[in-house]
Amino acid sequence: MIADISVRTVGGMDLTTFGWNTSLQADFAGLDASGLRPGRVVRQARDLSTLVAADGEVDAAVSGRFRHRAAGPADFPAVGDWAAFRPGDGGRATIEAILPRRSAFTRKAAGAATEAQVVAANVDTVLLVSGLDGEFNPRRIERYVTTAWSSGASPVVVLNKADLCPDLADAVAQVTAVAPGVPVVTTSALDGDGVAAVAPHLAPGRTVALLGSSGVGKSTLVNALLGEERLASGEVSDPRAGRGRHTTTAREFVLLPGGALLVDTPGLRELGLWADDDGLDRTFEEIDQLAAACRFPDCRHDREPGCAVTAALLAGELDERRFASYRKLRRELEHLETRKDERNRRRQERAAGRDHAARMKEVRRAKPGFR
């Protein structure tokens, strides 16, 4: 048994540096009796996880039992997860379980299937980086903020490449309008301007995920925070469109000098929405507050009598583009929930079919003369 979290210092590696605490210790209780050890996923590339454990770093893959029990991609290890693993005999370790996540930044996995993909787990703060060049898109920021609120982490918007913005005050005002209550920081990471303003969000022992599209300057920002050129960065491939090359190819941890844990991620070409009503309501809090005054609690804000949202639109008190964006994301969430229900129904039918086949097999075995 782990008597105290300080015991996790073995071979010079202190897991408290990576966020180990008494809550995780309680979650792990009993697993060590099976010969398992705790480790945090600090790098994820395809099917291979790199864990930081008491004895140092170790490469690990999920066990066959883990893979069989996983309902989908979201159940597999992600950067930031705490894993219970079994050491290998001079080889690769085996991940047997993932400790409960307290937060997870999740998007819809690429492809036609309705599956969730966890980008980063157990994150305290999400730095949503947007370039103030051709990439700047307040509607995209709304989508990121909605996903961040749904994840359980706190979002912070970082507007990078401030030196390329002709009207910085207007850009900040646009972001403030689409992300009410969310801190907004402006930086020019290439020359270091404004980087110090990010520091208050990088407390020791806190896990911070850095997310954004390609070409927004995430790697440059990480290098500025580190004070050295550790990560490769590249020029945008199309300066007019702001499209960038993927200089980060795998999700991994970066331990910052002040003690914060930074999850650097590859640029997201798209962010398939995987959120909930709470995340949407927090992003569009002015609409949520207006909706509370509607005559009907299930008001769709579409020609219903006594709709406070419609009244605010007619009075010019609510921006039409903002409401259009809200409705678009609301429809997307409703469609997602329908797809989830269909997926769950198909899974239940397949499971029932397997159970029926197993029962019929046992019945045949019980018959006289069965061979």
pLDDT at 244 over 70: no
- The region of weakest confidence among 21-30, 90-99, 108-117, 171-180 is 108-117
- At 237, the pLDDT band (50, 70, 90 cuts) reads very low
Residues of the chain with CATH 3.40.50.300: 104-264
Tell me the pTM: 0.78
- The region of weakest confidence among 15-19, 232-236, 301-305 is 232-236
C-beta of residue 187 within 8 angstroms of C-beta of residue 197: yes
How far is it, in rounded angstroms, from Cα 146 to Cα 252? 23
Backbone angles phi, psi at 5, to 5 degrees: -65, -25
Residues 6+ apart with CB under 8 A from 311: none
Residues 6+ apart with CB under 8 A from 361: none
- The region of weakest confidence among 93-97, 236-240, 296-300 is 236-240
Which of 241, 244, 199 lies closest to 220, judged by CA? 244
How far is it, in rounded angstroms, from Cα 83 to Cα 74? 14
Q: Which tens digits make up the pLDDT trace of 321-331?
A: 999 999 999 88
Whole-angstrom CA distances from 19 to 22, 79, 151, 280 are 10, 13, 18, 29
- The region of weakest confidence among 140-144, 255-259, 272-276 is 272-276
Q: Where are the alpha helices (DSSP H) in the chain?
A: 22-28, 64-69, 138-151, 168-178, 218-226, 277-283, 285-291, 308-314, 320-366
Which tokens is 119 given?
Answer: 């980008």
Over residues 33-47, the mean pLDDT reads 88
C-beta of residue 148 within 8 angstroms of C-beta of residue 123: no
Backbone angles phi, psi at 13, to 5 degrees: -105, 115
Architecture of domain 5-98: Beta Barrel (2.40)
How far is it, in rounded angstroms, from Cα 127 to Cα 50? 23
- Name the one residue in this structure whose structure tokens are 């790199």: 50
* DSSP calls for 229-266: --S----EEETTTTEE-----SEEEEE-TTS-EEEE-P
pLDDT of residue 119: 87
Over residues 311-336, the mean pLDDT reads 90
Strand, coil or helix: 146? helix
Exposed, middle or buried: residue 213 (CB in 10 Å: 0-12, 13-18, 19+)?
buried
- Taking CB atoms within 8 Å and a gap of at least 24, the contacts of 238-245 are 238/134, 239/133, 239/134, 240/134, 241/134, 241/135, 242/131, 242/133, 242/134, 242/135, 242/136, 242/215, 242/216, 243/135, 243/214, 243/215, 244/135, 244/213, 244/214, 244/215, 244/216, 245/214, 245/215
Residue count of the chain = 371
C-beta of residue 271 within 8 angstroms of C-beta of residue 143: yes
Residues 6+ apart with CB under 8 A from 117: 73, 74, 106, 107, 108, 109, 110, 274
pLDDT of residue 326: 92
Over residues 192-209, the mean pLDDT reads 91
Over residues 151-171, the mean pLDDT reads 93
> Where is pLDDT greater, at 107 or 240?
107
pLDDT of residue 216: 85
pLDDT of residue 356: 67
Report CA Rg, the chain: 24
- At 219, the pLDDT band (50, 70, 90 cuts) reads confident
pLDDT at 191 over 60: yes
pLDDT at 10 over 60: no
Residues of the chain with CATH 2.40.50.140: 5-98
Over residues 117-123, the mean pLDDT reads 90
Report domain 104-264's class.
Answer: alpha beta
pLDDT of residue 123: 94
**Over the chain, what is the mean pLDDT?**
82
pLDDT at 35 over 60: yes
pLDDT at 197 over 70: yes
Angle between helices 320-366 and 138-151 (to 10 degrees): 40
How far is it, in rounded angstroms, from Cα 129 to Cα 168? 15
pLDDT of residue 183: 95
Which of 100, 81, 102 lies closest to 39, judged by CA? 81
